[in-house]
């Protein structure tokens, strides 16, 4: 890393500064506010063809200009001091960021605990070729370390360096201080804008719009009062904002596989590039709203330590989306990357049974027949199935849902039974993972089946935890290298160097449905369950 901030060619541990334009990109609103406060009246008079300065305050003009200049000087001085006292360092297995000149703060994250690294480019930062680097660690989004802003190339290089060290890549002798090149990638899927627009038109919001419009027409006709239409105006504005946010965050969505992990890119005005190292996904959910069944579309969301719940910091919904809309092939491709070892000899049959099956399709254990009185539509769908590496939970007849939790990610469990469930001999089993949009829950299982699953899942989680050997993800997936490499016909793997390249080669090639049967070694990591 150089003193100019380039993450290359510098001894490990040197403190570096962010780009000098960073405070101006972050605080441009303050400059605009100052200009608006002191120049609004003059600007309005200029538009009206009058003098720039009102005669009544002409004598105080020098004082006003001096006051404006002083405020501007204070703001710029604050920006410069903010930049000067913001430094970062990558050393001793940590990334550290120091900020503040009056109230100092240091944040740090262990490299082997980094859950994800995002490159974020707001619109103004894109104009200047800058980017923000965010390191997420396991603290529900509260301990994110941010570097804003670096040159885009520097941000990419620093991300490559940190991911290489976090993964445990062994560099060649004599190259320890050299920054590794950015890892190559292979694009797995891309969401076309037309499909994204179609999914929004057939989304849950559209259903509520139609129902609200019909209700307003009926009530207006019955009461002969057209005031009901006025209630639709704020609702329409809110729904338009929701549509725009979904389109903005899902535009140009692409997913790729690389030695770093899963790379996600999306955004229309503000762009974001996420990198999820293998094994960091705590839980996964596949959802199919009713109208999406016409085209066979699905949505995928994940729980990742550090991202927190949906809506955290206003961005949780997009950052926890693994696939905004896609077909069954896209879903299985993403499942193959998140769970490279499905833990079953027939993964396609099991996952199809979880997505679209009823009763015992795919080997699922469903709600007993006596539960049809509590869930007349969903009792044949509600169920669970366990493979060697994950627990699958499906639910919903109209809004279909499949939740997948790797065994090693089960942190604790609890059996829930209300008075009606007790009357019919049913119980729910809740699995606790990190905060996020996914809530793993086995719904209305028989009491005996729920208690048996509780004990079995506890044993599976303990066994998966014992197989954990390292926090470094490359060490966790290294056993895959011992298997014969699977390469699709005509696929090129040039540029995937070393052992990590062989691992990614296998993970990328296993997206072929006929090759999902290949069994590999699991990647355990988390604590075992506790009785709740």
Average pLDDT, the chain: 76
Residue 444 phi/psi, 5-degree rounding, is 50, 55
**415 in Cβ contact with 428 (< 8 Å):** yes
Q: Are strands 383-386 and 321-326 parallel, antiparallel or unpaired?
A: unpaired
Taken as a whole, the chain contains a residue count of: 532
Confidence check: pLDDT of 249 > 80 = yes
3-state secondary structure 208-237: HHHHHHHHHHHHHHHHCCHHHHHHHHHHHH
What distances in angstroms separate CA 172 from CA 161, 165, 177, 498, one per listed residue?
Answer: 14, 13, 10, 11
Q: Where are the domains of the chain?
A: 192-248, 280-312+322-466, 474-515
- Please report, for residues 107, 127, 254, 277, the alpha-carbon distance to residue 190 in angstroms, rounded to integers and kept in the order given: 35, 25, 4, 20
Compare 206 and 96 and report the one with higher pLDDT: 96
pLDDT tens per residue, range 55-67: 555 556 666 667 7
pLDDT at 442 over 60: yes
| Structural tokens at position 21 | 């334009």
Q: What is the pTM of this model?
A: 0.73
How far is residue 85's CA from residue 67's CA, in Å, rounded to a whole number?
Answer: 27
Q: Which of 104-118, 424-438, 485-499 has the lowest mean pLDDT?
A: 485-499
pLDDT digits (tens, 9 = 90+) for 334-372: 988 888 888 888 888 999 999 999 999 989 999 999 999
Q: Which residue has the higher pLDDT, 96 or 33?
A: 96
Could you list the beta-strand ranges (E) of 407-473. 412-416, 426-432, 441-446
């Amino acid at each position: 890393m150089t003193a100019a901030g380039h993450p290359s060619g510098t001894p490990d541990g040197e403190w570096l500064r962010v780009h000098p334009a960073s405070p101006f990109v972050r605080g441009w609103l303050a400059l605009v506010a100052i200009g608006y406060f002191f120049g609004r009246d003059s600007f309005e008079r200029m538009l009206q063809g009058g003098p720039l300065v009102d005669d009544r305050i002409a004598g105080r003009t020098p004082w006003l200009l001096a006051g404006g200049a002083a405020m501007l000087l204070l703001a710029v001085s604050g920006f410069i001091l903010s930049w000067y006292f913001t430094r970062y360092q990558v050393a001793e297995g940590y990334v550290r960021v120091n900020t503040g000149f009056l109230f100092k703060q240091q944040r740090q994250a262990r490299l082997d605990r980094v859950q994800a690294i995002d490159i974020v480019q707001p619109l103004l930062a894109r104009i200047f070729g800058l980017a923000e680097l965010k390191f997420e660690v396991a603290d529900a989004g509260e301990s994110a370390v941010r570097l804003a802003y670096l040159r885009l190339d520097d941000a990419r290089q620093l991300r490559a360096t940190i991911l290489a060290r976090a993964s445990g890549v062994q560099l060649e002798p004599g190259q320890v201080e050299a920054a590794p090149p950015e890892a190559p990638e292979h694009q797995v899927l891309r969401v076309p804008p037309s499909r994204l627009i179609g999914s929004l038109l057939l989304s849950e919001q559209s259903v509520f719009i139609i129902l609200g419009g019909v209700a307003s027409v009926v009530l207006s006709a019955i009461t002969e009062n057209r005031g009901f239409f006025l209630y639709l105006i704020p609702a329409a504005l809110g729904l338009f904002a929701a549509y725009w946010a979904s389109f903005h965050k899902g535009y140009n969505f692409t997913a790729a596989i690389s030695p770093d992990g899963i790379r996600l890119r999306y955004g229309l005005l503000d762009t974001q590039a996420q990198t999820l190292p293998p094994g960091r996904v705590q839980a996964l959910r596949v959802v199919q709203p009713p109208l999406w069944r016409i085209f066979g579309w699905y949505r995928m969301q994940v729980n990742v330590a550090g991202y927190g719940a949906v809506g955290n910091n206003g961005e949780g919904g997009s950052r926890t989306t693994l696939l905004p809309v896609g077909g069954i092939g896209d879903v299985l491709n993403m499942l193959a990357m998140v769970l490279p070892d499905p833990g079953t000899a027939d993964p396609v049959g099991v996952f199809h049974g979880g997505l679209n099956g009823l009763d015992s399709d795919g080997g699922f254990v469903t709600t007993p027949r006596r539960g049809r009185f509590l869930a007349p539509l969903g009792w044949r769908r509600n169920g669970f199935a366990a493979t060697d590496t994950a627990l699958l939970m499906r639910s919903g007849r109209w809004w279909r849902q499949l939740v997948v939790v790797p065994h090693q990610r089960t942190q604790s469990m609890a059996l829930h039974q209300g008075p009606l469930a007790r009357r019919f001999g049913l119980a729910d089993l809740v699995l606790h993972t990190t905060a996020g949009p996914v809530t793993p829950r086995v719904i209305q299982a028989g009491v005996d089946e729920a208690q048996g699953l509780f004990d079995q899942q506890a044993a599976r989680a303990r066994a998966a935890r014992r197989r954990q050997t390292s926090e470094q993800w490359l060490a966790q997936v290294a056993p895959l290298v011992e298997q014969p490499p699977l390469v699709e016909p005509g696929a090129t793997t040039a540029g995937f160097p070393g052992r990590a390249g062989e691992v990614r080669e296998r993970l990328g090639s296993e997206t072929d449905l006929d090759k999902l049967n290949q069994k590999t070694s699991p990647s355990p990591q988390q604590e075992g369950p506790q009785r709740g």
